[in-house]
Amino acid sequence: MAKSVARLFSAPSFTAGDWTPEVRKAILSRRFIPNWRPKSRLWRYHDQPWVQWVQFEPDGLPRGPFFWSGKPAIRASRPKRSRHGQVKVEEALFIGYYVERGVPHHDMPARQIDSRWHWHGFARCLSESRLRDDLNALMLNLREDRRVVWIDCSEAEHPAGTVVPPVVRVLPYKGLTTLAETKKIIDGIPQYQWINVMLGVRYSMTECLTEQRDLIGEFRNPIVRANEIRQLVQNALP
């Protein structure tokens, strides 16, 4: 059977996430997660371009920031601009569990991490053997040649004025050793630097441009597994 030719992704707008509305529409009726729906989100870091992505949110959630919660998501990587020069990032689409670490002090309360943030449960999953084994078991359910951990944080400025460059790492997932490496990288990132982490699968931009809408059928497993990781992390909150 010939592949469909309907376009979903395009190279010029891939990293900006212009595919977001159509991807959200394509998966909305599939109800991958009971009582959660895919939503479009929009973000801009300082003077960088706006980006969009899809993330799942519970039905009835009030409008507003959702940084504090881990959630299944679909996001594209993008180059990082900084005062140290642009950081080259391989352009790819990531589907999986998305968790954020806010900062201890911020003039916007929604970005200031507190006790309810799922990051604390995620940190326990990296540190405690039983939880780490459970997280590893969920990750091993993902397709071996695609599963990854994506660590992504932008440039930050220390209160004293020192500029810290971006951190971008994509780790092929091999098992417990990858979780140990993830923890080591995260532990080396200053507390005042925001961190985004995704655990899931990766599709190169070339694959997205070639496969287009035929990829949508492959999204179910990583989204369902991401929701199971969300539940594990939420239950691990101190």
Q: What is the mean pLDDT of residues 216-220?
A: 94
Q: Which residues pair with 148 in a beta bridge?
A: 172, 200
163 φ, ψ to 5°? Answer: -95, 130
pTM score of the predicted model: 0.93
Mean pLDDT for 7-32 is 94
pLDDT-derived band at 90 (thresholds 50, 70, 90) equals confident
User: Would you state the pLDDT for residue 215?
Assistant: 94
Q: Which domains, from first to last, does the chain contain? A: 20-235 (3.30.930)
Q: How far is the C-alpha of 167 from the C-alpha of 157, rounded, in Å?
A: 13
Average pLDDT over residues 152-166: 79
| pLDDT value, residue 47 | 66
Residue matched to tokens 């080259």: 88
pLDDT-above-90 percentage for the chain: 75
Question: Phi, psi (5° rounding) for residue 156?
Answer: -140, 160
Q: For the residues 145-165, what does the mean pLDDT come to?
A: 85
Residue 70, burial from CB neighbour count under 10 angstroms (0-12, 13-18, 19+): buried
Instruction: Determine the Cα–Cα distance for residues 211 and 189; give it in Å rounded to an integer.
Output: 36
pLDDT class for 2, splitting at 50, 70, 90? very low
What local confidence, expressed as pLDDT, does residue 156 receive? Answer: 78
> How many Cβ atoms from other residues are within 10 Å of residue 1's Cβ?
3
Judged against a pLDDT cut of 70, whether residue 84 lies above it is answered with: no
Instruction: At 23, list the tokens.
Output: 């991807």
pLDDT at 201 exceeding the cut of 70: yes
Instruction: Please list, in sequence order, all residues whose beta carbon lies within 8 angstroms of the beta carbon of residue 212, skipping any fewer than 6 positions away.
Output: 3, 4, 5, 6, 7, 8, 9
Residue 4 banded pLDDT, cuts 50, 70, 90: very low
- Angstrom distance (rounded) from CA 151 to CA 133: 20
3-state secondary structure of 214: helix
